[in-house]
A and B are shown apart, each in its own frame.
Chain A
Amino acid sequence: MATKFVIEGLKAEIEGKEILKGINLEMNGGEIHAIMGPNGTGKSTLASALMGHPKYEVTEGTATLNGEDLLEMGVDERALAGLFLAMQYPSEIAGVTNSDFLRSAINARRGEGNEISLIKFIRQMEGSMKGLEMNPEFMHRYLNEGFSGGEKKRNEILQMMMLDPKVVILDEIDSGLDIDALRIVAAGVNQMRSEDRGFLIITHYQRLLNYITPDFVHVMMQGRIVKSGGPELAARLEQDGYDWIKEELGITDETVGQEQEA
């Protein structure tokens, strides 16, 4: 199935301050795109705005998934349309077990009368957790409560695996991960690669891309994509940092909306 995710001229602001200044990106099923860039250039804002966080107001542009206008949809509708955001700072929900939460999320997709059987769900969850080397007790732990940074990230990947989305945005999934966890998370992502799924990986380190090879690499500065290329671009960034791009483009301050890391 041909998944097609298109962002055109996307502008977004927070509290009246424009952070995204016109983003264009086209991604097909089977592709992995990496968005790189220093802190404060609008990468995470792009992720949150696409998912529909109420803090961000989209002022211009479109984002469509298989022709459907995501920006017209509520957050939950975007999720049901196939968008998934693995968050940088997942919320903690006390009193709600990981498994109850995930089962509700799966059933929200399947609809009333077609709920997943408990046995099937548990098998699926146990299987996915095993792949991510998660302790089975995390099934019954409260959602993200008291999880370490790395455990939260694994839990995000677990959700991604169980919810089977069409477009996955990974927002700094590598931050706070030690090398083993990074390897496991990357393996989880690679396992989910398929012809009808696209990945948008937001990171400011190249190291995640040693484990997940992107097809396209985009560099963000000042709320725009300022340079795009293939995997070799990531390798150059690893070697030389971002300064050469700034020089090339005559940028002195690459950040946008300074005081707010968005």
Chain B
Amino acid sequence: MAKQAPISDEYQYGFRDEHKSIYQSGKGLTKEIVTSISKMKNEPEWMLEFRLKAFEQFEKMPMPTWGGDLSELDFNDIQYYVKPSEGQSKTWEEVPSEIKETFNKLGIPEAEQKFLAGVSAQYESEVVYHNMQKELEDQGVIFMDTDTALREHPEILREHFAKVIPPSDNKFAALNSAVWSGGSFIYVPKGVKCEVPLQAYFRINSENMGQFERTLIIADEGSFVHYVEGCTAPVYGTNSLHSAVVEIIVKKDARVRYTTIQNWSSNIYNLVTKRAVAEENANMEWVDGNIGSKLTMKYPAVVLKGRGAKGSVLSIAVAGKDQHQHAGAKMIHLAPDTTSTIISKSISKHGGKVTYQGLASFGRKATGAKSNIKCDTLILDNQSTSDTIPYNEILNDDVTLEHEATVSKVSEDQLFYLMSRGLSENEATQMIVMGFIEPFTKELPMEYAVEMNRLIKFEMEGSIG
């Protein structure tokens, strides 16, 4: 396997720093490593048992045979736990300098000053920096990394942990359950509305590293929170794995928006399980942007459990050379009058591959439920491909399901039109692509929309030819 990695000039976050971690588990996964992760974190006994049981399940479960090509993913060539530093910093100054430099380059402290109510930054396996506005703290909002939550709020964590996504859900959920580290824990008390977003930033720095953050968000009745996460990694010649589990509980009349911008380098397997449970009249919104990675398999789900609950997934996926975005959404309607919307926008270029796979399921009690699904694909050249694989399960006669899928190419006439006004072919293509994903970008917080547009422009540079 190539040790010397080529530095790609296509991926702008592909730099890496020379930070030396204080502990590395070494490659491969054993019961001993799982135990030592738990011991090192001083976890309660129940969590160790949970991890070990999950590890057994992980070993028993076969690799998924559907979705993307996982044949090159070698579980023995991954480091499951890398601890970058001792403890967590509350102020930016305390963060180790190489790590600080990395996050500076990614614009994290600046973003925090400008518009975020709280920020958490995870480097390798651990959260290295965490801060939240005092007003939110005073209102009883809990926003911390999941390890700290396990120590400081054990009851509420234990009550909800792995209840939405049990380890047996799928092989990667089992793996995450065995070796999880970091991630965000958020609790928003009844009626509290967080006006500004909370953000977490995930960075993988080492080669062959596995990042397994575990996020749990509980929005109590009538509350609101918008959580934003961003992810990047350096470019290496060999593969790394990002396998997160995100569980969200949206109680009666509460609303949660979860925005992800993943901009992984092209050596990352991004295999993530995200699911929310929405109770009566609750509203869960996934806004999910997937750029980069070698293979992404991700299907944000909403279990619409209470009457009148709403779920939505708004996603974009961009696949370039040697990349496969296998993404979609799942809406499980279990109660009457529940509604869901899925809008999926995919772009493939330079031989990239995008697949939408989704599920709309209506249980026996889902009388009057409605689902609207729209998948649009824009293909930029003849080497690139797209697929749409929708599944429907309907056990109730009184439901409405609309599904619409379009595949388009950047048309000659559109390019001609824009160029006839003086835009170069590149500018014209960018404009068409940005227009295509506009329904997504307009839902992002302003700063993210600007960043997103910049990223897409960057991705589209040299797309012509």
Stretch at the interface among B157-165, B179-187, B354-362, B436-444: B436-444
Is B432 within 8 A of A79, CB to CB?
A: no
Instruction: Tell yes or no: A54 within 8 A of B by CB.
Output: yes
Interface: A251 (CB within 8 A):
no
B411 at the interface (CB under 8 A from A): yes
A122 at the interface (CB under 8 A from B): no
- With A101-B431, A104-B427 as known contacts, state yes or no: A159 contacts B436, CB within 8 Å: no
Q: A53-B416, A101-B418 are in contact. Are A108 and B427 (CB under 8 A)?
A: yes
Interfacial residues of chain B within 404-422, with CB under 8 A of chain A in the complex: 411-414, 416-422
A96/B435 contact (C-beta < 8 A), A54-B416, A91-B414 known: yes
Q: How far is the CB of A143 from chain B (nearest CB, A)?
A: 8
Interface size class of A (residues with CB under 8 A): 20 to 34
CB atoms of B422 and A76 under 8 A apart:
yes
**What is the CA–CA distance of A180 and B156 in the complex, to the nearest angstrom?**
69
Residue from the set A78, A91, A143 with the largest chain B CB neighbour count within 10 Å = A91
Inter-chain contact A108/B424, CB cutoff 8 Å: yes
Does chain B have a CB within 8 A of A74?
yes
* CB of A15 to closest CB in B, whole Å: 14
| Chain B residue contacts of A87, Cβ below 8 A | 417, 420
In the bound complex, how far is the Cα of B423 from the Cα of A143, in angstroms? Answer: 15
Q: A91-B413, A95-B437, A96-B438 are in contact. Are A76 and B419 (CB under 8 A)?
A: yes
B112 sits at the interface (CB 8 A): no
Contacts of A91 in B (CB 8 A): 411, 413-414, 416-418
Assess whether B434 is interfacial by the CB under 8 Å rule: yes
Bound CA–CA A87/B420 (angstroms): 10
> How distant is B265 from chain A, measured CB to nearest CB, in Å?
28
Residues in B with CB closer than 8 Å to A75 are 416, 419-420
Give the most central of B420, B424, B434, B437: most A CB within 10 Å: B420
Contact call B427/A96, Cβ cutoff below 8 A: no
Q: Mark B422-458, 1 if CB is under 8 A from A, else 0.
A: 1111011001101111110000000000000000000
Closest to A101 in B: B431
A55 within 8 A of partner (CB): yes
Q: How many interface contacts (CB-CB < 8 Å) are there between A and B? A: 77
B413: A residues at CB distance < 8 A: 91
Residues 78-91 of A, flagged 1 when their CB comes within 8 A of B and 0 if not, give 11100011010011
Q: A55: which B residues are within 8 A, CB to CB?
A: 412
Q: How far is the CA of A207 from the CA of B418 in the complex (A)?
A: 30
Quick check: is A163 within 8 A (CB to CB) of the other chain? yes
Contacts of B432 in A (CB 8 A): 93, 96
Contact of B417 among A80, A90, A163 (CB under 8 A): A90
CA distance A54 to B420 in the complex (A): 12
Cβ-based interface call for A179 (8 A): no
B431 and A79 contacting across the interface, CB-CB below 8 Å: no
Which residues of chain A have C-beta atoms less than 8 A from B428's C-beta? 76
Residues of B within 8 A of A101 (CB): 418, 421, 431
Counting CB contacts under 8 A, is A211 at the interface?
no
Residue of A nearest to B440 (CB): A95
Write out the residue numbers on chain B whose beta carbons fall within 8 Å of the beta carbon of A52.
416, 420
Contact with B421, one of A53, A105, A142 (Cβ below 8 angstroms): A105
- A116 at the B interface (CB under 8 A): no
Q: How far is the CB of A222 from chain B (nearest CB, A)?
A: 26
Q: How far is the CA of A102 from the CA of B311 in the complex (A)?
A: 37
Q: Give the Cβ gap from B334 to chain A, nearest Cβ, in Å.
A: 35
A106-147 interface code vs B (CB 8 A; 1 in, 0 out): 001100000000000000000000000000000000110000
A202 near B: Cβ within 8 Å? no
In the complex, the answer to whether A105 meets B412 with C-beta atoms within 8 Å is: no
Chain B 92-115, CB-CB to A under 8 Å as 1, else 0, gives: 000000000000000000000000
- Which of B419, B427, B434 has its CB near the most chain A CB atoms (within 10 A)? B419
B interface residues with partner A (beta carbon < 8 Å): 411-414, 416-425, 427-428, 431-432, 434-439
Binding site for B on A (CB under 8 A): 51-55, 74-76, 78-80, 84-85, 87, 90-91, 93-96, 101, 104-105, 108-109, 142-143, 159, 163
A-B contact pairs, 30 of them (CB 8 A): A51-B416, A52-B416, A53-B416, A54-B412, A54-B416, A55-B412, A75-B419, A76-B420, A76-B424, A76-B428, A79-B421, A85-B420, A87-B417, A90-B417, A91-B414, A91-B417, A91-B418, A93-B435, A94-B435, A94-B436, A95-B437, A95-B438, A96-B431, A96-B434, A101-B431, A104-B431, A108-B421, A142-B435, A159-B421, A163-B422
Closest A-B pairs by Cβ, 5 of them: A95-B435, A95-B438, A96-B435, A91-B417, A79-B422
